[in-house]
Amino acid sequence: YLLKPYTIMFGQTVAPPATYEGKLIKFGSCTKKYKGKDDYIPGCPPHPEDVLAFFATLLPSNKTYEYFVD
- CB-based contacts of 34: which residues, under 8 Å, 6+ apart? 9, 15, 16, 26
- What percentage of the chain carries pLDDT values higher than 90? 23
pLDDT surpassing 80 at residue 16: yes
Largest Cα separation within the chain, whole Å, is 38
CA distance to 16, 66, 69, 70, per residue, from 6 (Å)? 13, 22, 24, 27
Count CA within 13 A, CB hemisphere, residue 12: 1
- Residue 47's pLDDT is 94
What integer is the mean pLDDT of 33-41?
84
E-assigned strand segments in 1-70:
6-10, 23-27, 39-41
Q: Rounded to two decimals, what is the model's pTM? A: 0.69
